[in-house]
Amino acid sequence: MGIPKKKALGALDRAFLAGEGRDVMMHVGGLLEFSPPPGKSLGFYQRLREEVATVKEVDPPFDRKLLHPDLLGSPTQAWISDERFDIDYHVRRSALASPGDERELGVLVSRLHGTPLDFHRPPWEAHFIEGLEGGRVALYVKLHHALVDGYTGMRILQRSLSSSPKDADTPLFFAPRARDDGKRAHDEEAPTLASLLHAVREQVGAAKSVGRALMSVARAIRSDDRSLALPLQAPKSTLNQRISRSRRFATQRIDAARVKRIATAAGGTVNDVVLAITGSALRRFLTEQGTLPQPSLVAMVPVNIRPKDDPGGGNAVGAVLATLATDVRAPKERLARIIDSTQRAKAMLQGMSKTAIMQYSALVLAPMMLSFVPGVAGRMRPAFNVVVSNVPGPDKPLYFRGWKLDEIYPLSIPFHGYGLNITLQSYAGSLNFGFTGCRDTVPHLQRLAVYSGEVVSELERAWGCE
């Protein structure tokens, strides 16, 4: 057996490993729900189990484990191939007491998402869940964020899906793909002197862009410019406390056409309306609890900075801050404030290289790392109040071995000082919201999901889109 090849971790990948702890688990996930094809044949799981049993190796990144699984913060940490890969450990079968409803599915997925991954193995799991009403099935997949980001994870999961309901042999998402060059996907060429010099020049150029952006931030602070959400401007709130390891997961599905009509009427984007939905729902949710801060809540919005044809892998994500205008009573004014805020934030990134955006994002989010210091979470102003992330997905219906994909919901990461994460996935004309929260910090999370669906009508009335 040869020496396994190493793959270096990026700075952001290392940060996700450094954040791992007893109560903070830095994995993301996806919940996919399927309805059976007409005349569903019995033995679906038996055939699936037999197919999985034949898998001897998997494609990267699913074969990668950590070189130092007991020292996550090791300076020599790297990914290596798992030479003793065991597919039966990673792919599992679960069942609800039939007929299981959406609430029972949510309870099971909340429990699965609240358990840590084993770093002595490649850090991912796939759970096929049966027993849902109407003969439906679900697939819950979780992967550590150091292994893939949400963009990459979605592209990988889609490899198991087909646009045709007649396709009965699409390979499972972790199965090896044929390659013309005979190379494994994780084989990498050694860096050349020219490539190293180019990287140095890129870092120097990025530092200049970041410096200009920080000067803009400084000017906004001096002039008390509230249209630009600034670091450490977010108020303290009940969302920003130390968390426990228990999780709660809730979902909401919203017609994308309704959101697009509101965005057009308001002169904003779909993401602007998503932030307005979030701000409106959080205002109602926290007002009922008597815990709404007087200043507006601030959202951190991840920004994918990959080229359109980038195959993914690792993490390539920037970040901007945006107001949720929760201090505004009127829905129309709230959305207008949000549009102004996001336009200012995006203007900060204009003209920056990918490297510069990542450097700037790291500086903006640096105060967040203080929440991992014992006793700090909840005592100081947070870097932001909540994460709101929009992951683009397929716009046409997809199928898995003839089973129609009805819904797909992302799950993400609460951590100390930031007990709620809202991530949505677009799919076939709908926006599917996944609310992942700490069970103790954000009680009654399902209410927030319900309110998110109801406030769409408020925005439609406000902008004349009914």
Model pLDDT for residues 3-38, shown as the tens digit of each residue: 557 888 887 788 889 889 999 999 999 999 999 988
pLDDT score for 226: 56
Contact residues for 148 (Cβ-Cβ < 8 A; gap 6+): 28, 61, 156, 312, 313, 314, 315
Q: Which is more confident, 168 or 281?
A: 281
Closest CA to 293 of 333, 235, 239: 235
Whether 281 contacts 189, CB under 8 Å: no
Least confident piece of the model among 139-153, 285-299, 346-360: 346-360
Is the pLDDT at 230 greater than 70, yes or no? no
pLDDT score for 42: 65
pLDDT score for 269: 95
Q: Domains in the chain and their CATH numbers?
A: 199-384+433-462 (3.30.559)
Rg (CA), the chain: 22
Instruction: State percent of the chain over pLDDT 90.
Output: 55
Least confident piece of the model among 109-113, 134-138, 373-377: 373-377
Is the pLDDT at 188 greater than 80, yes or no? no
Is the pLDDT at 400 greater than 80, yes or no? yes
**Cα–Cα distance between 77 and 20 in angstroms, integer?**
14
Model pLDDT for residues 201-219, shown as the tens digit of each residue: 444 444 444 455 445 544 4
Q: What is the mean pLDDT of residues 243-268?
A: 96
pLDDT score for 197: 37
What does the mean pLDDT of the chain come to?
83
Whether 280 contacts 366, CB under 8 Å: no
**Cα–Cα distance between 21 and 26 in angstroms, integer?**
8
pLDDT score for 98: 84
Model pLDDT for residues 311-324, shown as the tens digit of each residue: 444 445 677 889 99
Q: CA–CA distance from 365 to each of 15, 384, 442 (Å)?
A: 12, 9, 22
Q: What is the mean pLDDT of residues 161-187?
A: 72
Q: What is the mean pLDDT of residues 283-302?
A: 95
pLDDT score for 213: 47
Whether 437 contacts 412, CB under 8 Å: no
Q: What is the 3-state secondary structure (H, E, C) of 157-183?
A: HHHHCECCCCCCCCCCCCCCCCCCCCC
Is the pLDDT at 263 greater than 90, yes or no? yes
pLDDT band at 338 (very low <50, low <70, confident <90, very high): very high
Active site residues: 145
pLDDT score for 107: 93
